[in-house]
């Protein structure tokens, strides 16, 4: 069995893929497995991966999985998970890269702690600028209960740190069905995944290892594209609310889920200019319908504690939903 399976999905990132692939060589071990998933690229990325797979084969185990259709990052990651054989699983997005030796250090930290998963801070890269993004957990190097790290509802917590590539996950989570992503989500796929992990896993830790470099502003990233795939966040958060409402701690956890959902809706409404006009209309209608589906008593409490600007925007949208003008 490989010690680690690293899953890297690629889609039309020929410009950035060489940085990712060079960093894999700088993290390779004979007992590491690199699973390269090409999500039906059309720009020559696959040919680049074919050459890289041959080059990496002398330092690590390599599997190249070309997909016949483009399914999005969630589906591409699941393609890799379906064949992953490692004791540990990790993810990296195409265009991002790892510091030399980061993966061996991360696996060693996880083995020493013995917990279900480990998270790390990351470096965000925008052009030549770099900034540190920290896991919002104060205790480092200690095994914690991920369920308790979901709260408090009114603060940024571990469940809001949705960078799945900044960590490593024990195989037992894969065998329990906790590492697969919701199929078909083109954006916000990390949100229900992170919530599920925090509700269902038994232990986790945060360690002071800084070796993941996340590239912002990639042209092919959906965060840069204003079409209706952006609206998948609604399906993602509907899933979070539905699953959390069925949880044994629903009374404690639902306010956090609803508050985060409301914050994301307000964020997109405030940033409407990035969307095509038809998408803006759908965004408003679908967001209004989403507010109508939420537990109304929890929503009342959330709106009372949000800042005035966002609360006012959401209340206006809620009134629209109440008049029946919103499309389900």
Please give the average per-residue pLDDT across 165-174, as a whole number: 98
CA distances from residue 45 to 28, 35, 39, 92, 317 in whole angstroms, order as listed: 21, 15, 10, 16, 43
Q: How big is the CA angle at 248 (ends 243 and 251), to the nearest 5 degrees?
A: 85
The sign of the dihedral angle between the CA atoms of 187, 282, 318, 242 is negative
Q: How far is CA 82 from CA 3, 65, 76, 175, 245, in A?
A: 16, 11, 10, 11, 29
Kindly list the distances between the CA atom of residue 321 and the CA atoms of 26, 112, 255, in Å, as whole numbers in the listed order. 53, 52, 20
Average pLDDT for 10-32: 97
Q: What is the pLDDT of residues 128-158, one digit of tens each?
A: 999 999 999 999 999 999 999 999 999 999 9
The answer on pLDDT for 321 being more than 90 is: no
Q: Is the pLDDT of residue 325 over 50?
A: no
Distance CA 93, CA 96 (A): 6
Q: Where are the domains of the chain?
A: 4-222, 226-322
Rounded to a whole number of angstroms, the distance between the first and last alpha carbons of the chain is 48
pLDDT at residue 223 in the model: 52
Least confident span in 189-203, 211-225, 238-252, 297-311: 211-225
Read off the pLDDT of each residue in 18-43 and give the average, rounded to a whole number: 97
Of 125, 168, 132, the C-alpha closest to 16 is: 125
Domain 4-222: CATH architecture, name and number where available: Alpha-Beta Complex (3.90)
pLDDT confidence of residue 290? 97
Tokens of 191: 């949100």
Locus of tokens 């507010």: 291
pLDDT tens, residue by residue, 240-290: 999 999 999 999 999 999 999 999 999 999 999 889 899 999 999 999 999
Residue-wise pLDDT tens digits, 102-126:
999 999 999 999 999 999 999 999 9
Angle CA 233–303–279, to nearest 5: 30
pTM beyond 0.85: the answer is yes
């Amino acid at each position: 069995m490989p010690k680690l399976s690293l899953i890297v999905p690629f889609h039309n990132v020929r410009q950035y893929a060489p940085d990712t692939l060079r960093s894999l060589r700088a993290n390779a071990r004979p007992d590491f497995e690199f699973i390269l998933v090409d999500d039906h690229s059309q720009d020559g990325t696959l040919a680049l991966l074919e050459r890289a797979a041959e080059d990496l084969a002398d330092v690590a185990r390599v599997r190249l999985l070309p997909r016949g259709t483009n399914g999005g990052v969630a589906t591409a990651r699941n393609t890799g998970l379906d064949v992953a054989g490692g004791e540990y699983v990790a993810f990296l997005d195409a265009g991002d890269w790892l510091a030399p030796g980061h993966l061996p250090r991360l696996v060693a930290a996880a083995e020493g702690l013995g917990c279900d998963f480990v998270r790390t801070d990351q470096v965000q890269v925008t052009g030549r600028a770099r900034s540190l993004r920290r896991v919002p957990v104060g205790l480092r190097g200690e095994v914690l209960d991920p369920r308790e790290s979901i709260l408090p509802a009114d603060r940024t917590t571990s469940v809001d740190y949705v960078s799945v590539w900044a960590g490593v996950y024990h195989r037992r989570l894969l065998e329990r069905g906790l590492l697969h992503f919701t199929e078909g989500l083109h954006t916000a796929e990390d949100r229900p995944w992170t919530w599920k992990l925090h509700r269902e896993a038994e232990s986790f830790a945060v360690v002071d290892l800084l070796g993941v470099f996340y590239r912002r502003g990639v042209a092919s990233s959906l965060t840069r594209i204003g079409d209706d795939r952006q609206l998948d966040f609604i399906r993602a958060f509907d899933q979070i609310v539905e699953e959390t409402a069925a949880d044994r701690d629903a009374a404690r956890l639902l306010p956090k889920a609803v508050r985060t959902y409301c914050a994301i809706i307000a964020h997109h409404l405030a940033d409407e200019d990035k969307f095509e006009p038809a998408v803006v209309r759908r965004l408003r209608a679908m967001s209004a319908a989403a507010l109508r589906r939420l537990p109304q008593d929890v929503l009342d409490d959330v709106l009372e504690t949000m800042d005035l600007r966002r609360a006012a925007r959401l209340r206006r949208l809620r009134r629209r939903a109440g008049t029946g003008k919103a499309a389900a």
